[in-house]
Amino acid sequence: MIGRHLLSAQDLTSADAVRILDTAGELATVTDRSVKKLPTLRGRTVVTLFFEDSTRTRISFELAAKRLSADVINFAAKGSSLSKGESLKDTALTLEAMGADAVIIRHGASGAPYRLANAGWIQGSVINAGDGTHEHPTQALLDAFTLRNHLRAGSGDLAGARVAIVGDILHSRVARSNVALLRTLGAQVTVVAPPTLLPYGVHTWPCDVSYDIDDVLPHVDAVMMLRVQAERMAGSYFPNELEYSRRYGLDSRRMALMPDEAIVLHPGPMNRGVEISAEVADSPRAVVVEQVTNGVHVRMAVLYLLLGGRPEELMVEGADR
Amino acid sequence: MSDSILVRAGRPYGQEPVDIVIEGDRIAAIAEVGTATADRVLDAQGCVVLPGLVDLHTHLREPGREHAETIESGSQAAALGGFTCVHAMANTSPVADTAGVVEQVWRRGIECGLVDVRPVGAVTVGLEGRQLAELGAMASSAAAVRVFSDDGLCVHDPLLMRRALEYVKAFDGVVAQHAQDPRLTEGAQMNESELSGRLGLAGWPAVAEESIIARDVLLAAHTGSRLHVCHVSTAGSVEVIRWAKSRGMPVTAEATPHHLLLTEELVSTFDPVYKVNPPLRRRADVEALRAAVLDGTIDIIATDHAPHPREDKDCEWAAAAMGMLGLETALGIAAQVVTRDENSGSADGGADATDSTDWQAIAQLMSVAPARIGQVADQGQPIEPGSIANLAIWDPSVETTVSGERLASRSGNTPYAGFTLPGAVRHVLFRGRPSVVDGGLA
Ligand SMILES: [Zn+2]
Strand, coil or helix: what is A81?
Answer: helix
With CA atoms as reference, the chain B residue closest to A82 would be: B319
Cα separation, A89 vs B311, whole angstroms: 9
B4 conformational bin, left if phi > 0, alpha if psi -120 to 50, beta if neither: beta
Q: A137-291: which CATH topology? A: Rossmann fold (3.40.50)
The CATH class that applies to domain B53-337 reads alpha beta
CA of B229 to the centre of ligand 1 (A): 10
> How many C-beta neighbours within 10 Å does residue B105 have?
22
Give pLDDT < 50 ranges for chain B: 1, 344-351
Q: Min CA distance, B386 vs chain A (Å)?
A: 54
| Nearest by Cα to A53 from A24, A19, A76, A82 | A76
With CA atoms as reference, the chain A residue closest to B189 would be: A110
Q: pLDDT tens digits, residue range B202-242?
A: 999 999 999 999 999 999 999 999 999 999 999 999 999 99
CA of B154 to the centre of ligand 1 (A): 8
Residue-wise burial string across B294-316, b where 16 or more C-beta atoms lie within 10 A, e elsewhere: beebbbbbbbbbbbbbeebbbbb
Which residues of chain A make contact with B317, given a CB cutoff of 8 A?
Answer: 109-112, 115
Query: In this structure, are strands B203-204 and B227-229 parallel, antiparallel, or unpaired?
Result: unpaired
- Residue by residue, DSSP assigns B156-189 as --HHHHHHHHHHGGGGT-EEEE----TGGGTT--
pLDDT for res A36: 73
With CA atoms as reference, the chain B residue closest to A132 would be: B200
Chain centroid to CA B420: how far?
Answer: 21
Q: Answer whether residue A58 shows pLDDT above 60.
A: yes
CB interface of A with B, residues 89-118, below 8 Å: 89, 107-112, 114-115, 118
Please indicate, yes or no, whether the overall pTM of this predicted structure exceeds 0.90: yes
Q: Min CA distance, A308 vs chain B (Å)?
A: 26
Which residues of chain A make contact with B271, given a CB cutoff of 8 A?
Answer: 115, 118-119
End-to-end CA distance of chain B: 15
**Catalytic (active-site) positions of B:** 304
- CB atoms B199 and A118 under 8 Å: no
Cα separation, A237 vs B350, whole angstroms: 49
Q: Answer whether residue A164 shows pLDDT above 50.
A: yes
pLDDT for res A309: 61
pLDDT for res B340: 82
Strand order in the sheet with B251-255: B147-148, B174-177, B227-229, B251-255, B300-301
Interface with chain A: mutation pick from B198, B207, B264, highest number of A CBs within 10 Å: B198
Residues pairing with B147 in the sheet: B174
CB interface of A with B, residues 10-69, below 8 Å: none
Cα separation, B142 vs B106, whole angstroms: 8
- Residue by residue, DSSP assigns A257-296 as TS-TT-EEE--S---BTTTB-HHHHTSTTB-HHHHHHHHH
Q: Answer whether residue A315 shows pLDDT above 50.
A: no
Cα separation, B264 vs B195, whole angstroms: 8
Cα separation, A231 vs B411, whole angstroms: 38
Cα separation, A221 vs A147, whole angstroms: 9
pLDDT for res B373: 98
Cα separation, A143 vs A293, whole angstroms: 11
With CA atoms as reference, the chain A residue closest to B186 would be: A235
Position A33 confidence tier, pLDDT thresholds 50, 70, 90: confident
- CB atoms B316 and A201 under 8 Å: no
If you count DSSP H runs as helices and E runs as strands, how many of each does chain B have, helices first? 12, 19
CB A45 within 8 A of CB A99: yes
CATH architecture for residues A9-135+293-315: 3-Layer(aba) Sandwich (3.40)
- Domain ranges for chain A, please list them: 9-135+293-315, 137-291
CB B150 within 8 A of CB B122: yes
Task: Classify burial at B356, counting beta carbons within 10 Å of its beta carbon; exposed 0-12, middle 13-18, buried 19 or more.
Answer: middle
Interface with chain A: mutation pick from B193, B266, B316, B317, highest number of A CBs within 10 Å: B316
Cα separation, A161 vs A140, whole angstroms: 15
- CB atoms B270 and A114 under 8 Å: yes
Cα separation, B249 vs B243, whole angstroms: 9
Strand, coil or helix: what is A317?
Answer: helix
Of all residues in chain A, what percent carry a pLDDT higher than 90? 81
Which residues of chain B make contact with A201, given a CB cutoff of 8 A?
Answer: 193-198
Count CA within 13 A, CB hemisphere, residue B369. 21
Q: In this complex, which of A87, A132, A135 lies closest to B315 when CB atoms are compared? A: A87
Query: In this structure, are strands B440-441 and B18-23 parallel, antiparallel, or unpaired?
Result: unpaired
Cα separation, B192 vs B200, whole angstroms: 10
A119 interfacial to chain B (CB closer than 8 Å): yes
> How many C-beta neighbours within 10 Å does residue A215 have?
12
CA of B220 to the centre of ligand 1 (A): 19
At a CB cut-off of 8 Å and minimum separation 6, what does A83 contact?
A: none
CB B265 within 8 A of CB B195: yes
Cα separation, A99 vs A71, whole angstroms: 11
Fold: same for A9-135+293-315 and A137-291: yes
Interface with chain A: mutation pick from B270, B274, B313, highest number of A CBs within 10 Å: B270
pLDDT for res A316: 40
- Domain ranges for chain B, please list them: 53-337
When computed from its CA atoms, the radius of gyration of chain A, rounded to whole angstroms, is 19
B77 conformational bin, left if phi > 0, alpha if psi -120 to 50, beta if neither: alpha
Q: Min CA distance, A182 vs chain B (Å)?
A: 15
pLDDT for res A81: 46
Residue at B254: amino acid letter: E
Q: In this complex, which of A110, A135, A205 lies closest to B317 when CB atoms are compared? A: A110
Q: pLDDT tens digits, residue range B127-154?
A: 999 999 999 999 999 999 999 999 999 9
Residue-wise burial string across B56-75, b where 16 or more C-beta atoms lie within 10 A, e elsewhere: bbbbbbbbebeebbbbbbbb
Residue ranges of chain B whose CB lies within 8 Å of a chain A CB: 189, 192-203, 205, 269-271, 311, 314-319
- Residue by residue, DSSP assigns B299-362 as -EE---B----GGGTSS-GGGSPP-B--TTTHHHHHHHHSBSSTT---TT--GGGGTTB-HHHH
Q: In this complex, which of A89, A111, A119 lies closest to B199 when CB atoms are compared? A: A111
pLDDT for res A87: 85
Q: How many A×B Cβ pairs under 8 Å? A: 84
Q: pLDDT tens digits, residue range A272-282?
A: 999 999 999 99
At a CB cut-off of 8 Å and minimum separation 6, what does B327 contact?
A: B55, B58, B74, B77, B78, B80, B81, B83, B86, B303, B305, B409
Q: Min CA distance, B12 vs chain A (Å)?
A: 45
Q: In this complex, which of A87, A89, A109 lies closest to B318 when CB atoms are compared? A: A109
Cα separation, A171 vs A233, whole angstroms: 13
Q: In this complex, which of B192, B193, B316 lies closest to A109 when CB atoms are compared? A: B316
Position A190 confidence tier, pLDDT thresholds 50, 70, 90: very high
Q: Answer whether residue A321 shows pLDDT above 60.
A: no
pLDDT for res A317: 42
CB B19 within 8 A of CB B32: yes
CA of B98 to the centre of ligand 1 (A): 20
> How many C-beta neighbours within 10 Å does residue B247 have?
11
CB B6 within 8 A of CB B37: yes
Q: Answer whether residue A84 shows pLDDT above 60.
A: no
